[in-house]
Amino acid sequence: MLTTLALTLVTAPLGAAPLGDTEQPARIGIGATPFQIISDTEIIIDGVTYDSWEAVADSGYFHTEHTRCITGFDDPGVDIRGTGADCDFNRTRVEPQYQPDQGVRRIPVVVHVIQSTSGTGFIPESRVRSQIDVLNEDFLAIAGTNGGAGDDAQIEFFLATEDPQGNPTNGITYTTNNSWFNDSGSYWNALAWDTNRYLNIYTNSASGALGYVPSLPQGGIVGSNSDRVVVLYSSFGRNAPLVPFHLGRTTTHEVGHYLGLYHTFNGGCQSTASCATNGDRICDTNPESSPTFGCPGGRTSCGLPAPFDNYMDYADDICMERFTPDQINRMRCTLENWRPNLAITGPQACNAADLAEPLAVLDLADVQAFIDGFTAQQPIADIAAPAGVFDLADVQAFIDDFNSGCP
């Protein structure tokens, strides 16, 4: 029996680490474009100071190929893992075992929020959670959301509930470091959680781009600390400050790379006859001579309709709305062959008390998750009616489900 839930358990407060580093943000450069974030109202690019992220966006700075996304595609020349030929660097072979009807793949996420000593770069937990929601809306094509027009990949994301040592966690870390905030220094060696088992997302200045991953997983990065997704903090989450890159689609795009996708315009105009082995190695996305910027509503490139609404193009957030079936097949192939220890393919939660990993097992992690959620009045603990009210009915419902056990 579980009848004496202690609802006074207090977890360590989140937020800024103690201030101790007084160095000024370092000046960093992307190519010939120096980029320096002093604060959200003082952003210096190539000698010009902008007083808001809106002003940066209006300047067209992110409408160039070298600032939108700086993901690298260096092919080491060999498939060092020796497997995954269905979705290696050179080709995509669409196979039934990678189709979404083979079951949901659930990916644990840790978000490392890095801020400067002035507090620039801080992202509240609610906005971090909103980004996970957006990922799920887009990858699951949830009806009634911005992602609803796409195809359902049956790939789901959740903030980790257990850290690498097995301790309960909300899946978010906060770090204050000016060098790391400027995307300098090997911060991943200090912060990464086992990259075989967690999607590690970092928010900081992203080296002056909206985001990037260091390389596709087919290159052997998986398992190293540097395996990561990096997103500009002002473009992270729903209703982020950086309009028109404010709806969480930078992260959707970068996670597409993290799961093995190229840009739709990779290689420019290519033969559609050999579409599986050139360009983006995807046959149901037409080739493009160059990225689509803005929100054109339609575009012809290479003599064909451009896939301007694809998450792997460069359109504004509101105009991105789909992964194609072949892209989904390649991502699921990548998960199976190149990130084999990442996704959870096991059972779903067995009842309303089954709140934490491992699912289908009711244990202290579930109790902790309920207590944390109840204390913070989060939806996870709002089990009983009325919705939005956290009272003894929720506690009783949790206890009843917990005691009834998983089938």
**Catalytically annotated residue among 162, 254, 321, 357:** 254
- Residues within window 25-84 making contact with Zn ion, judged by CB under 5 A: 69, 71
Q: Which is nearer to Zn ion, 70 or 384 (CB)?
A: 70
Q: Report the nearest approach of Zn ion to the CB of residue 69 (Å).
A: 3
Q: Which is nearer to Zn ion, 71 or 327 (CB)?
A: 71
Q: Which is nearer to Zn ion, 262 or 402 (CB)?
A: 262
Q: Report the nearest approach of Zn ion to the CB of residue 257 (Å).
A: 5
Q: Report the nearest approach of Zn ion to the CB of residue 61 (Å).
A: 16
CA distance 100 to 350: 22
Q: Which is nearer to Zn ion, 71 or 337 (CB)?
A: 71
Q: Which residues contact 278 (CB under 8 A, 6 or more apart)?
A: 267, 270, 271
Q: Report the nearest approach of Zn ion to the CB of residue 333 (Å).
A: 19
CA distance 249 to 136: 11
Beta strands 304-305 and 28-30 are unpaired
The answer to whether residue 264 forms part of the interface with Zn ion (CB under 5 A) is: no
* Token pair recorded at residue 69: 């996304």
Q: Which is nearer to Zn ion, 79 or 254 (CB)?
A: 254
Q: How many helices, marked H, and strands, marked E, lie in the chain? A: 9, 12
Q: Report the nearest approach of Zn ion to the CB of residue 71 (Å).
A: 4
**Cα–Cα separations (whole angstroms), residue 282 to 91, 326, 332, 336, 358:** 8, 6, 14, 18, 35
Q: Which is nearer to Zn ion, 71 or 169 (CB)?
A: 71
Q: Report the nearest approach of Zn ion to the CB of residue 209 (Å).
A: 9
Binding mask 92-111 for Zn ion (x = CB under 5 A): --------------------
End-to-end CA, the chain: 17
Q: Which is nearer to Zn ion, 40 or 254 (CB)?
A: 254
Q: Report the nearest approach of Zn ion to the CB of residue 211 (Å).
A: 7
Q: Which is nearer to Zn ion, 63 or 104 (CB)?
A: 63
Q: Report the nearest approach of Zn ion to the CB of residue 319 (Å).
A: 16
The answer to whether residue 292 forms part of the interface with Zn ion (CB under 5 A) is: no
CA distance 33 to 43: 13
Count how many Cα atoms sit within 13 Å of the Cα of residue 300 in the half-sphere of its side chain: 2
CA distance 88 to 297: 32
The answer to whether residue 235 forms part of the interface with Zn ion (CB under 5 A) is: no
> Three-class SS string for 151-218?
CCCCEEEEECCECCCCCECCCEEEEECHHHHCCCCCHHHHHCCCCCCCEEEEEECHHHCCEECCCCHH
The answer to whether residue 327 forms part of the interface with Zn ion (CB under 5 A) is: no
Number of shown-chain residues binding Zn ion (CB under 5 A): 2
* Token pair recorded at residue 20: 């101790």
Exposure letters 336-353 (e unless 16+ CB within 10 A, then b): bbbbeebbbeeeeebbbb
Q: Where do runs of H (alpha helix) occur along 199-288?
A: 249-258
The answer to whether 254 is a known catalytic residue is yes
Q: Sheet harboring 28-30: ordered strands across?
A: 28-30, 33-39, 42-45, 48-50
The residue of the chain with the least Cβ separation from Zn ion equals 69
Cβ–Cβ < 8 Å for 38, 213: no
Write the single-letter amino acid at 40.
Answer: D
> Which residues are catalytically annotated?
254
Interface ranges with Zn ion (CB under 5 A): 69, 71
